[in-house]
Structures are given as structure tokens and as C-alpha cells.
A and B are shown apart, each in its own frame.
Chain A
Amino acid sequence: MFGLNVVKRQEPPKWGSFLIYPGCIALSLCISCLLLAAQGKPALEGMVMLWQGAFGAWYAFEDTLLKTVPIFLCSLGVAVTFRMQVWNIGAEGQFALGAVGATWAVLTFPNLPGWQLMPIMFLSSAVAGCAWGLIPAYLKLRLKVNEIITTLMLNYIGILILQFLVYGPWKAKASFGFPMTEEFPSAAVVAAIPGTRLHWGVAVCVVAAVILTIFLSRSRLGFELKASGESLGAARYARMPYGFLVMLVMGLCGALAGWAGMLETSAVVGRLQPSIMVGYGYTAIVVAWLARLKPWAIGLAAVFLAALRVGTENLMLELQVPAAFGHIMEGLILVTVIAGQFFMNYSIRLGSAEVSK
């Protein structure tokens, strides 16, 4: 690289992630500053506003945590599929289908009490999201159809299904032409944790993360999953159930993303409307890669990217910066981190090439 000698490391350096990740993020923040300056906005003040918008007050931090929930759930699922080198880009569509599934339950059983309706909603959103994840898994296994493209196309289709329903058959009578369903009855709303604006979906995140961590590190299937990701050939040789594992991770991701969609619809918005689709599924990919697919790190990265979104909203209000600024920052962070991971795996030696093994 650039005439320097690149040497593969035997193992990543201990200091690596403490130096590289903050460095990459700092670099991407610097570039974002330049972009702000290029539009004639105060760059450093902008960064302060970003921080204050996300962490400046308890109220702001609650917003951040609320946005963490869907990002975290989607990312958890995405990370599990990435572990198997299954490139599932479909969390966005699975999120949409989850929201649709939950709304179907609410509209079908409007008079059930909460303790009956809530489990049905959890189930229907998981089933809908899961189904949306299993289609590309099946096509990949059966016909070797590239899952990157099928999951992506199913994102577009999933969002259009959601739109079709809220513009058409599910549109509320008193919506004055706005595309939205009736407001959910209180039995269908995931309640807030007393004393906060956070809803009990936070607990779902914690439980899901704990169960998944145990599953990945302690169970036989979890081990096989990791092994198949690292070497497909070896896994096949050891007669690991590759096909089953692909279906499992895709279904799991779909169910988790589906729950994210359900929680967003039920607890945050209180009805189904197209504006729930704000790209959490794509942010989940950034989070998963940032966290190197580890569940605990996904928690941290999800809070970080949720903070970025909330902070950007503050920036939109204060400096009239378009919402797309947040997406640029997400893209920049991902790019710098992918490049930065180079230094985890390789070291650079100056001077002439000496044979080193």
C-alpha cells in the first residue's frame, strides 16, 4: 500500500479498538464539520448542538433511548445473519411487515383486553417479520439467489405494502385524507415505564440481548452458526445443518425487526402510518458492523447512532440542516470504520522489505 510494506498481524492488537474506533469516528466528525462549513453553517457549534440534542438533558436522553430500541432490535438480528456471512439487508422491510402484522392484530381484535391482545400482537408481528426474512433465505438455499438483492427488493415491496394498506383498506374514516389507521385502543399500546417516557420495549431489548448472547456463546447451534460463518467448507464437512441455520438466523432477524416495527407503531406513534419508516433497518447495518457483531457492543453502538439521529433533529431545528445530514454522518462513520479495521489486521512497516513471517 502506497509503497509501504504491509504485514499481516497474527492477532489484533490489544489497544486496537480503543485507538482505532475513536479515531475513525473523530475523522468522520471532522468531515461532517467541513460539510456544515461548506454550507455556511457554524461547524463546531453544530457539533455542540448535536451533542446537546442527544445528551443535553434527561428529556433529550429519553429521546435517544427511545430511538435506540428499534435500532438495537434490528441490529441484533442483522448481526446474527452477518455472523454467518449471510448478507441480510432486509431489516427495513421486516420492520415494515412487523408493523403491519401488529396492526392487523389490532384491527382484527379491537375489543380484546390488553393481556390477550398484546401477546397476539407480539406473535403476529414476529410471524410477519419472520416470513419476510424466510423468503430470501429459502430462495438463497434452494436456488442460490443472491440474498443481498432479494432482501433489498423486499424492503421496497414491504414499505409499499404498508403504504397500500394505510392509503387503502386500513385508512381511518376520520383521517381527513391523511394516510393513517385509527388510533390504537389503549389495550394495544405498549405502556410507558412509570416515571419515564420510555416504554416497556426497553425490557424486550434487554431480554432479547441476554437470551441471544447465551444462545450464541453457550449452545451448540450458536457455535455451529459461528463456525459456518468462518468457514462454510469446514462446516459442511462437519455436517453442520447449514440450510437450517440460514433459515434460523433469517427468521430470527425478521422476528426481531418485526418486534421493532410493532413497538414503534404501538408505543411511539400509536397507529400505523408511513412515517414510521425512517430507515432504522439501514442504520442497523451500520451499528452491527461498528460493533463487530457482538451483542454488548451493539448496545453501545445503537445508543451512539440513536444519539446521532436525535442530535441531527436538534440541528435541523437550530440550523435548518436537512435530515440527510444524519445519513451522511452514518455513511462516513461506516466508511472510516471499515477502512480503519485494516489496522487491526495488518501492520505497516517502513523501509525496505525484510522477510518476516
Chain B
Amino acid sequence: MSPELLIPLLAAAVQSGTPVLYATLGEMFTERSGILNLGVEGMMVVGALAAFLTAKFTGSPWLGLLAGGMAASALGGIHALVCLEFLGNQTVSGLALTILGAGLADYLGTPYIGQNAPGFYAFDMPVLSAIPFIGPIFFKHDALVYISFLAPLAFWFFWHRTRTGMALTAAGEYPKAAAAAGLNPVRLRWIGILVGGFLIGMGGAYLSLAYTHLWTNGMSAGRGWIAVALVIFAFWRPGRAVFGAYLFGGVMAFQLRLQATGTNLPSSLLLMLPYALTIFVLLLSAMRGKGKSSAAPAALGVNIEPEG
């Protein structure tokens, strides 16, 4: 493939991988605290709607981003209430959240289908965008993409070098020991869900404010579920999440481009690619992870029972 074709494709991969990256990091944040949240798909689309509406009525995409994050975080709060306070089943609660979130976004968003909102636009990063090959792929994007470059580093620092980060890991690995050490694992898991939810909402906001600048129903199109799979693929490590997200971004961009060039392949077969790749990627990580002890947080999906 010639560079004239390859560079735009890779740049598109970075762009369409970014919402998945935010969602993956958000879910990873939550799961590291020991909570399995299968509501990502619903939270993402609610975040996308809240971001769209806020940006539309205030004119500020940044406020939109904030609203998107907060809306998804609030929806995550339901999950926290159900699983942490009412000790409900995490798997089913997450599914309920997805049904609820998708319904809410459709219901509240229907009057705005096809309408536009101000969003984030690409600009060249000074100096860096001039680097040959790398520049046009990574440094001709919008602000949210640049922020997402820093996110994995920030995550690594947070989890390995800060007290809160290590406490969160303890809540996910062995909440009883965390409690014995004077930490409050329930509160830590609340933080895990709410902060993770905010990031998932940012992924949603990216869809309606940067990837497109308009509202359509069902915007997330399975990206939330792909993010859940990518957390497994990434072995709960942020660096690998970047790789996974861009891989998916690449396949989505490739599929769109192929459709646009008017190929003979039917669009429904092309649309299958990301979903088939998800299964394939899980297979791959399962085969690689064979024999090793699981990389998942030890208490993932296990509720904290009250004493007594």
C-alpha cells in the first residue's frame, strides 16, 4: 500500500479508535477497583447525547464534554447503588444499565435526530505535525485525541505511583485485606465506577462532538461492548489498551473506506468486521494467556458482603 493511501488510513484509525480508547480506559478503571460494569454501551450513548445537547444549547463543546462525562458517571451511579449498596448481581445490573441507557438516549434524543452541534475540530499540533509520517498520522487531530495520548501515561502513574491508585487496586484484588488495612473498599469502588464512568462518557462525547457533529440514534453501535472486550485483551494494562483501540479504529476506518470506494462486497459483510475481530482478539488473548494466572483483578465481579 502506498503512503498516500496508508497515511490517511492510519490517521483515521487513530481518530476512530479514540472513543473506544476512552471507553476502554474507563472500563479498565472501574474493573481495577473490582467492579464489572457491562453498562458501557448504554453509558457511552447517554454520554454522547448529553454532550451533544449541552454543546448545542451552550455553544461550548468543552461544556458538552463535561456534561457527557457527568451523565455517564451518573448512570454509573445507578450501577454503584445496585451493586455496592444493594449487593445486586453485577453482570445483570450492567446489562440493565445498557438497556436503560440505550432507551434513555433514544427517547430523549429522537427530536434532535440529524441536527448539528458545535464540536471539536482538527488542528495541526505545532512542530510535531511536521514530522514526516508520524506527524500526519498522530498530530493532525482534535484536542480530545491529544488528551487521549496522555491518558495512558497518567493512568500508569496513577495506579503505580499514587496512594489512591494503589488503594483502588487493593479494593479490586482483595477488598477484605484493604478493609483490614483501614481502607474503605466500598467507597473506593464508588470512585472506580464514577471516575471510570466519566471516561466512558468522554468516549461517548467524542462520538457526537468530534467523530461526527450530529445526533443519530444508536450512535455507539457496539463500541461499548468492544471496549469491554478490549479490557480483557489488554490484560487490564493501559498501554495495551491503546494498541487494541487503534486496531479497532483501523478496522472501522478501513471498512468505511472500502464502502465509500464502492466495492462489490455487500455492506453488511463489511459491517461484521469489527464484531468478528472482537471475537478473534479475545481468542488471541485467551491463547496467549493460557497457562498464566489470570490477569484480571482477583475480586472482579465479586460483591463485598457486609460483616455480621
**Residues in chain A within 8 A of chain B (CB atoms):** 1-2, 5-8, 35, 87, 89, 139, 143-146, 148-150, 152-154, 156-157, 160-161, 163-164, 167-168, 282, 285-286, 289, 321-332, 334-335, 338-342, 345-346, 353, 355-356
Contacts and interface: CB of A to CB of B under 8 A. Distances in A.
A31 to B, nearest CB: 10
Contacts of A89: 95
Interface of B: 38, 42, 78, 81-82, 85-89, 91-93, 95-107, 110, 217, 222, 225, 228-229, 232, 266, 268-269, 271-272, 275-276, 278-279, 282-283, 286-287, 290, 305-306, 308
B290 A153 contact: no
A167 to B, nearest CB: 6
Main secondary structure of the interface of A (DSSP, over half): helix
Given A153-B222, A164-B266, A328-B104, 20 more contacts: A1-B85, A1-B306, A7-B308, A160-B275, A282-B99, A285-B92, A325-B103, A327-B99, A327-B106, A328-B100, A329-B103, A330-B99, A330-B103, A331-B42, A331-B98, A331-B100, A338-B92, A338-B96, A339-B81, A340-B86
Of B97, B232, B278, B290, chain A has the most CB atoms within 10 Å of the CB of: B278
21 contacts: A1-B86, A5-B308, A8-B308, A89-B95, A143-B283, A148-B38, A153-B275, A160-B272, A164-B266, A167-B268, A168-B266, A168-B268, A328-B107, A330-B99, A330-B100, A331-B104, A334-B95, A338-B82, A338-B93, A339-B82, A353-B308
B80 to A, nearest CB: 11
Given A150-B282, A334-B96, A157 B103 contact: no
B263 to A, nearest CB: 14
Contacts of A341: 86, 88
A221 to B, nearest CB: 24
Contacts of A338: 82, 86, 88-89, 92-93, 96
B101 A331 contact: yes
Contacts of A339: 81-82, 86, 88
B282 A160 contact: no
B292 to A, nearest CB: 12
B166 to A, nearest CB: 26
Contact of B286 (A87, A145, A161, A164): A145
Main secondary structure of the interface of B (DSSP, over half): helix
Of A87, A144, A145, A355, chain B has the most CB atoms within 10 Å of the CB of: A145
Contacts of A321: 107
B103 A331 contact: yes
A335 B93 contact: yes
Given A322-B110, A327-B102, A156 B286 contact: no
Contacts of A6: 306, 308
A322 B99 contact: no
Given A150-B282, A160-B271, A143 B99 contact: no
A341 B283 CA distance: 35
A57 B287 CA distance: 57
Given A1-B306, A143-B286, A160-B268, A342 B107 contact: no
